[in-house]
Amino acid sequence: MEELDPSSLRDRYRSLTDDELLRLVDRRTELVPMAQLALDQEVGRRRAWLEPLRQARSREKITDDVQSDDPVSKSIRCCKCSGEMRQGFILDATHGARLVSRWVSGTPEASLWSGTKVDGREQYFVQAFRCVACGYLESYANESCSR
């Protein structure tokens, strides 16, 4: 296994395409803390042109989800007022990135390096719906993060 140093990580991340970098951001929690920091710095450096690409990918993903056979993605009505529910997501604004929130199994455990331990735990992206009439939020965790 090769030794990691911050400058080689920076160089490696700078050589990635924007799409490759965004795919790596999606798997950020699997990286060691030093690699996470270098990734955050590169994402911050590219922020101006990465954000439109990330938004386009999010819109494509939401469109794919709505067109899937998943019953959660189909049109649903609010359980409080029967209003229309609009699909969205819960934003997780973290250092150097904007991510989709995740449901993680178990109780939170503090981690000195990452804030909260999540390694080896079952994780699912949180899909949210908001009632356009009353604002009620309903969320589901059906899509595994391990895909």
**H or E stretch at 8:** helix 6-14
Non-local (6+) Cβ contacts of 35 within 8 A are 4, 9
As a whole number, the mean pLDDT across the chain is 77
Report long-range pairs for 93-99 (Cβ below 8 Å, ≥24 apart): 95/40, 96/39, 96/40, 96/41, 96/43, 96/44, 97/25, 97/28, 97/40, 97/43, 98/54, 99/25, 99/28
| Gyration radius (Cα) of the chain, Å | 18
Query: DSSP label at 29?
Result: G
Question: In sequence order, which ranges of 18-146 are alpha helices (DSSP H)?
Answer: 18-26, 33-67
How far apart (Å, rounded) are the C-alpha atoms in residues 92 and 28? Answer: 13
CB atoms within 10 A of CB 118: 19
| 147 Cα distance to chain centroid | 13
What integer pLDDT is reported at residue 137 of this predicted model? Answer: 93
What integer pLDDT is reported at residue 103 of this predicted model? Answer: 87
What integer pLDDT is reported at residue 70 of this predicted model? Answer: 45
Percent of the chain's residues with pLDDT above 70? 74
What integer pLDDT is reported at residue 53 of this predicted model? Answer: 65
Q: Per residue of the chain (147 residues), what is the pLDDT tens digit?
A: 456 677 888 888 888 887 787 788 777 777 787 787 887 777 777 776 666 666 666 655 544 544 444 444 456 788 888 888 888 888 888 778 888 888 889 998 888 887 888 888 888 888 889 999 899 999 888 766 654
What integer pLDDT is reported at residue 59 of this predicted model? Answer: 57
